Structure 1
Amino acid sequence: MNFLRLSFFVCTMLIGFYANAQTFLGNFENVHSETNNEITIKTTQGVVKIEFITADAVRIRTSWNGEFEANEPWMVVKYDWPKVAYNKKENHQELALSTEKIELKIGKNPFSISLYDTNGNVLLDEHKDAMNSSAHRTTEQTGTSFNLQPDEHFFGFGERMDFLDRRGKKVRLNVGRGQGLPHIIGAYNPLEANYAPVPFFMSTAGYGLFLHSARPTNWDMGNSNDTIFSFNAEGGELDYYIMYGPDFPTILNTYTDLTGKSPLLPKFALGLHVGTYSGGTWGHESETSTQYVIDLAKKFRELEIPLDVLHLDSTWRFFGENGGKGATTFEWRETFKNPKAMFDSLYALNLNAVGLHLRPRFDNGKTYRLLDKARKGGYVYPEENGAGEFVNFFDEKSVDWWWKEGVKNVADQGAMFLKTDEGSAFGHKANESDKVGPQGEEIKSLHNLFPLAYAKAPFEKFQEYNNIRGMNHTREGYAGIQRYPFIFAGDWPSEWQYFEPVIKAGLNIGLSGVGNWAHCMGGFEHVADPELYIRWTQFGLLSPIAHLFGMEHPNYKEPWNYGKEATRIFKSYDTFRYQLIPYLYSTSYQNHITGKPQMRAMVLDNQDDPNTYEITDQYMLGESMMVCPVIDKGAKTRVVYLPKGQWTNYWTNEVFEGKQYISVLCPLGQIPIFIKGGAIIPMQESQNYIGEKAIKNIDLHIYTHEKSSFTLYQDDGKSLNYENGDYTTTQIETEENHQTTIIKIDEPKGSFISNVATYTIVIQQPDHPSSIFINKKKIDASKLKEQKAISYTDGILKIKVDANKLQEIKIVK
């Protein structure tokens, strides 16, 4: 009897504790109001706002006190949506709200939310028990949970180095690089690295979810219970968006409508970027010099290795008296003689842009004393005892002062962009000091936003100052960072074990709405194994942004430091990249319009193929090129998975049907590349830098297979005029059957007038064509050698046509 009483007492105490610990929504009471697209629902324990932002996307906000936070401007760029038509039906069990694309069902007892497509298929079903909703709050967090479908898998969550498919995994999203000593695990722990987390995922069930919170978030995607996934934010209201696809590209398009499309970078940003410590990295600062930087650029030119962008990393700066390496004085180290003359020399070598690395904290130098002035003027984010050091990038006046008193000094000398490093240090321990910056409850909601504000400031200021498109090079980000491109993957050592995690980072960030992404090819720290260097740079030169940078002294990461073979291979892939500029630029335009990234995980276009869910060493570069980095030391072959379709080995021209694994040769000079059947890949002659030559001809490399199309995009490559419609698109279509191939090239559409006068169609044609028709005029195929605009040699058919007229080419086999 005593035992029963004790058990009853313990159960009562636990129930009471549980009730005090978590507050649920209770039951549905009524629809309180309807305004435009927003339906406000009162429950017995709170208030829920449901807003249709489009016919296939909805925002759900929950408050337990009836108050809602003001809309923030950093993550989401659009809150004012056109009217969405929806129908409302209600009975005793549920309230149903439906558009032409989705149906939202609100369970009443207890309150719950489920999402369906128009065929009645459940997409998302909030978990509940007999008494409680899943949506809840405690003193420390707000969150909810959903039923996990048996075959459901999740992709996204930002720049993660650990996994691709997150089903069965847990993850915490909060900007940071990992704690602990870097050379043990710390920042080199792929499980902890969180440089650019994004609280957004896409489900193979056909929907995406964006948790609209800047606070740290925690996600359990079926780890604790394989029938439930859940998420919570550490404070604030519960606010999330659900987006219906059902395909991933449609979901990404909606997500980037919310958080902003990436602008077009200057075309030269697609060329090679090189970073330099100017001859002296940490501990060797005295060896830096302006002449080193000039000689570096000269060597690229002498070796005819194409190069467009250079940045000077940390050691250009005089380290101040307060923050040392972790802060910025905006004063040049004394070893840099006449920086303006250095910039002039670099631009005389036809570099298109030169930039500088900096940190987000002010410091006092010998002359400027910017930290003292900023504190006195209130331009730093306040800390205890007036000791603030971080530029208050959330405040427009502080940004203006930072630009005028600091950045503009180096801009006037010739700097055209910044590398904004250490955005994770706001409220956390920084790399080069024990300082943690501002603390307190408010910082929980600002820490993740700081990298956005930090990248936004120089992107916009330099865009206005240079009078060309902005470009910012940043390490940290959060939801919306795609608006201030570009992101790079952080400081990963030159060791084989870190190669594949960096590839994962690019795949995951692309699945999270960020298209312009880079990494330190060859690795950042340590002298690389020459084989690793070659394999990593092959991948790097076929990444969205090609960025070469490392810190070991005195080798650094220039190819000639790794021998003649490495230099030859590097140059060949760099040249190949520059030939691909029309393809890469058109792909960048697609990213700008749709949010679809340049570097695409195989699952992005194959979400119904489980074989693609864990592919972390292959990706699509644009629509047509599958790149397969070699991540194993000494490998002479590697296994490649070919999804549905037809695929051509770029090196051998061997054709394979998809939905199979194959083993391919991968000699050191070759990264396996497969071209998708139907591909149309525009290429141009290589250049030493973008703009060196006026491009008069573009080669259209066509891999015929059934029906396909490609949109070639052209503009001036630098100005913002494209935002006002000053560009040209050309639609190219192909169709193949057993006997004929038909190629149609539309007239250019748009106001931009291109230098391109001709297209040369290039087709692998094993057999001599029997006849060719150009605009219905038959060409005698037996006399191709006499045709100036047509040739057939070694199985390759080339046909040159006018680029400014409608063209139809029919090839009869």
Structure 2
Amino acid sequence: MITNTELEYKGNLYPDQIVDFKKDSDKFYFTTQNGVILEITVIRNSTIRFRYATDHVMEPDFSYAISPDAPRGYKDLKAEETDTEYLISTAKVKVLVDKKSMRVQISDLEGNIINEDELGFHYEENYTYGGNSVKMSKITQSGESFYGMGDKATHFNLKGKRVHNWVTDQYAFGKDQDPLYKAVPFYIGLHQNKAYGLFFDNTFKTHFDFAHERRNVTSFWAEGGEMNYYFFYGPDMSRVVRSYTDLTGTPELPPLWALGYHQSKWSYFPESRVKQIASKFRKLKIPCDAIYLDIDYMDGFRCFTWDKTKFPDPKKMISELNEDGFKTVVMIDPGIKIDRDYWVYQEAIKNDYFCKRGDGPLMSGKVWPGQCNFPDYTNPEVREWWAGLYKELMSEVGAHAVWNDMNEPAVMEVPTKTAPLDTRHDFDGHPCSHRKAHNIYGMQMVRATYEGVKKYVYPKRPFVITRAGYSGTQRFASTWTGDNVATWEHLWIANVQVQRMCVSGMSFVGTDIGGFAEQPNGELFARWIQLGIFHPFCRVHSSGDHGDQEPWSFDKEVTNIVRKFIELRYQLLPYLYTSFYRYYKESIPMIKPLVYHDQEDQQTHFRTDEFIFGEQILVCPVQEPNAKGRRMYIPRGTWYDYWTNETVEGGSEKWVDADIDKIPIFIKEGAIIPKYPVQQYVGELKIEELQLDVYYKNGIENSMIYEDAQDGYDYTKGEFSLRNFKLTGKENELILQQFKDGNFITTYETFKLNLMGLPFKIKSIQLDNESIALKDVKMNGSNTIHVTKEFTTLHIIGK
């Protein structure tokens, strides 16, 4: 085991000899001679919490990140003591604590070291603010790679990088610029084909060094608060991501329209312009489900008001848009204009809901309305009031969803871009300064918004979007990556950021398609749409100061390409919705980087461009101009080219043709991909038949289709349809078995099966052990058949 060093080094203090040990149910306490306490909590067999305190004092235990529904429980737990160490064993891992230095080593049951302290926990008194800066250093294993950390705009593998968490309004950010809008202090380590995760649940400004300063050391530290981290063991990366996501939570299912295509701009006004945009979508037959109203819909940028000149009758407008299939999404910011005649301001002043500075005066800062005060969303009473403010907007005016922006909080014309650090917060009864509350301010704002929207759109489901976030924010809102730029480099960044967010627990994510700042040309816009339709949140948004950015804003060729790909998204909605169901139910990310998909393949560890959409669709965007195709890595296995149905063997790089109207899309062999007919908006058509694209495989593959009423809460009471398919392919036969669950009755009665890649001609078909004439399944050529949705086993025999 590692040996002790000096107790003080470069001003840092270290734990010394352990002098006391006690066990209390799932908790173990170790106390050193110099007053450091280590509390180890076994959450699950492979999830262990480490919490350190100094001066013999454990602070009250509180976290905004941890889901109240996080699963707990373990199978085996035992503790042993030797002359030199304590050993805690679960059914999955062993935790060794060195008696001399309190350093920790975590191994699997075979004794392979997974994670090991270098200097381990150390700390330094913060003379400016009081308390400690807390630090942890770990040994970087040979060949170790690092992933995660939220929205970092850098290479997907973080090895050799140093990053920081301090949510920041970073307009037109660049590649490698840091920090950005999210603080997600969670990373995944991978070495010797064993993955683990580490979540540093500390809301102060945090820093992570992934073998940047010293190539054999990974460290993380915070400028205040506790050294409090959770360790997750895989060994599969998928298990690590799921354990972290289980801990911090998943959202409920959104209404299906929230997964459609959305159109936004800063800003669409007046009402006639909004209706003109809506009308053009329908005229050009480009599917769209939502139109966004940015801050210009308000009266002088005052939240919860309307500019009656631009929007004389918002209720009527929203109702008319809804009749044409458009949901209306409105923006709400945190800054409340200082205006004694403004009712929201009056209520907040009367009830003392605004944040105050350290010496007492209200914290104020300039945002769009001018000087503003800011509600303290860390106060439960303020959150309840804020939720209630949505009543008129949602229940009476009829808005469908809310978009919280500027909630870092962003403050203009100050060097820090945010609230002063001495701003005070309630922190749910644990009063603190903005140093501690800054990273969760936006999260608590959108939490309050979510509660209000959920209450006032009931019995429909809420849809809320946030720009700022901390770990766990995914329980309340979807998100996007902030104010990007219309450049090819930003198309690359968008792809990496969304993959990174998905393995960081936040799958309901997208980017401003086409770029927020500056103007894309038609080719860049088309290529961005081709990527964006595969992101869980799909929205075009632009700053509006450089012209329009609608699907028809370029030439006819671009408009047709954009329509083609938006139509593809609408066809794939049941597939995407099923992926969301698995995210909600099983904490499985909706987009999977190649290393997540196949960590055993070393080639995937540094791949950035390719990703798996859902479970079985491989996508690789084209990210440079004038391209007629690109080289890409095809993961191991057999894949079908979506456009040609030709098969390709993976495990190597290949050139793939992809002119401006295509991007490389491949389907895993054996997959069953459900498709709806193209609709102009969700719910426009009654689905008469579900198309299933069946990709032959010589072997076995499982697929799933989840459906429900597409809105409302009946799905929580068993009103859903879950179909699990098992495909078994042999040389001269194909067997499809269906296992059904749930009480929801779909509108369609039949499946249309498109059989791809059959190596034989169909001779006969058996449906649930009964031979049926080929004419009775409406054979269409040799590869399309129509069958009842109720079948249990479909047996196709070849000749």
Task: Report if aligned partners of 1:190, 1:501 keep a CA contact under 8 Å in 2.
Answer: no
Equivalences for residues 351-366 of structure 1 within 5 A:
351=326, 353-364=327-338
Equivalences for residues 152-551 of structure 1 within 5 A:
152-178=144-170, 182=171, 187-188=173-174, 190-204=176-190, 205-279=194-268, 288-319=269-300, 328=303, 330-332=305-307, 334-351=309-326, 353-364=327-338, 368-383=342-357, 384-388=360-364, 389-405=373-389, 408-409=392-393, 411-425=395-409, 429-430=411-412, 436-440=418-422, 442-467=433-458, 468-551=460-543
Alpha-carbon distance in structure 1 between the residues aligned to 2:791 and 2:14: 65
Q: Secondary structure at the match of 2:447?
A: helix
After superposition, the C-alpha distances for 1:272-299 in whole angstroms (9 at most, x for unaligned) are: 11113454xxxxxxxx311111121111
Instruction: State the Cα distance separating 1:415 from its structure 2 match.
Output: 1.4
Letter in 1 for 2:296: T
Task: Report if aligned partners of 2:391, 2:452 keep a CA contact under 8 Å in 1.
Answer: no
1:60 aligns with 2:50: yes
Any gaps of 5 or more consecutive residues in structure 1?
1-13, 280-287, 321-326
Letter in 1 for 2:362: G
Letter in 1 for 2:501: I
Letter in 2 for 1:379: Y
Q: Secondary structure at the match of 1:126?
A: strand
Instruction: State the Cα distance separating 1:801 from its structure 2 match.
Output: 1.9
Bigger share in helix? 1
Equivalences for residues 139-158 of structure 1 within 5 A:
139=126, 140-158=132-150
Identify if the C-alpha distance between structure 1 residues 117 and 680 changes in structure 2 by more than 3 Å, giving closer, same or farther: same
Q: Residue 282 of structure 1 corresponds to which residue in structure 2?
A: none
Equivalences for residues 593-672 of structure 1 within 5 A:
593-672=585-664
Q: Residue 25 of structure 2 corresponds to which residue in structure 1?
A: 36
Q: Residue 7 of structure 1 corresponds to which residue in structure 2?
A: none
Q: Secondary structure at the match of 2:292?
A: strand
Instruction: State the Cα distance separating 1:96 from its structure 2 match.
Output: 0.9
Instruction: State the Cα distance separating 1:696 from its structure 2 match.
Output: 2.9
Match of 1:776 among 769, 775, 782: 769
Instruction: State the Cα distance separating 1:84 from its structure 2 match.
Output: 5.0
Task: Report if aligned partners of 1:53, 1:84 keep a CA contact under 8 Å in 2.
Answer: no
Instruction: State the Cα distance separating 1:766 from its structure 2 match.
Output: 5.4
After superposition, the C-alpha distances for 1:433-465 in whole angstroms (9 at most, x for unaligned) are: 987434327111111111111111121211111
Any gaps of 5 or more consecutive residues in structure 2?
127-131, 365-372, 423-431
Letter in 1 for 2:478: F
Instruction: State the Cα distance separating 1:610 from its structure 2 match.
Output: 2.5
Equivalences for residues 53-132 of structure 1 within 5 A:
53-78=43-68, 81-82=72-73, 85-128=76-119
Instruction: State the Cα distance separating 1:612 from its structure 2 match.
Output: 1.7
Instruction: State the Cα distance separating 1:724 from its structure 2 match.
Output: 3.7
| Stretch moving more, 523-532 or 768-777 | 768-777
Alpha-carbon distance in structure 1 between the residues aligned to 2:81 and 2:415: 60
Identify if the C-alpha distance between structure 1 residues 584 and 176 changes in structure 2 by more than 3 Å, giving closer, same or farther: same
Alpha-carbon distance in structure 2 between the residues aligned to 1:683 and 1:307: 17
Task: Report if aligned partners of 1:420, 1:455 keep a CA contact under 8 Å in 2.
Answer: yes
Identify if the C-alpha distance between structure 1 residues 404 and 591 changes in structure 2 by more than 3 Å, giving closer, same or farther: closer
Letter in 2 for 1:464: K
Task: Report if aligned partners of 1:417, 1:458 keep a CA contact under 8 Å in 2.
Answer: no
Alpha-carbon distance in structure 1 between the residues aligned to 2:134 and 2:502: 28
Q: Secondary structure at the match of 2:288?
A: coil
| Stretch moving more, 64-73 or 166-175 | 64-73
Identify if the C-alpha distance between structure 1 residues 333 and 73 changes in structure 2 by more than 3 Å, giving closer, same or farther: farther
Task: Report if aligned partners of 2:265, 2:541 keep a CA contact under 8 Å in 1.
Answer: yes
Alpha-carbon distance in structure 2 between the residues aligned to 1:438 and 1:134: 30
Identify if the C-alpha distance between structure 1 residues 268 and 432 changes in structure 2 by more than 3 Å, giving closer, same or farther: farther
Alpha-carbon distance in structure 2 between the residues aligned to 1:572 and 1:365: 49
Letter in 2 for 1:195: Y
Letter in 1 for 2:617: M
Identify if the C-alpha distance between structure 1 residues 790 and 193 changes in structure 2 by more than 3 Å, giving closer, same or farther: farther
TM-score scaled to structure 1, two decimals? 0.90
Alpha-carbon distance in structure 2 between the residues aligned to 1:302 and 1:566: 17
Identify if the C-alpha distance between structure 1 residues 60 and 692 changes in structure 2 by more than 3 Å, giving closer, same or farther: same
Letter in 2 for 1:311: Y
Identify if the C-alpha distance between structure 1 residues 709 and 739 changes in structure 2 by more than 3 Å, giving closer, same or farther: same
Letter in 2 for 1:307: C
Letter in 2 for 1:363: K
Q: Secondary structure at the match of 1:230?
A: strand
Identify if the C-alpha distance between structure 1 residues 623 and 62 changes in structure 2 by more than 3 Å, giving closer, same or farther: same
After superposition, the C-alpha distances for 1:692-729 in whole angstroms (9 at most, x for unaligned) are: 12223211111122211112111111112323443221
Task: Report if aligned partners of 1:89, 1:96 keep a CA contact under 8 Å in 2.
Answer: yes
After superposition, the C-alpha distances for 1:4-23 in whole angstroms (9 at most, x for unaligned) are: xxxxxxxxxx989x558211
Match of 2:785 among 799, 805, 808: 799
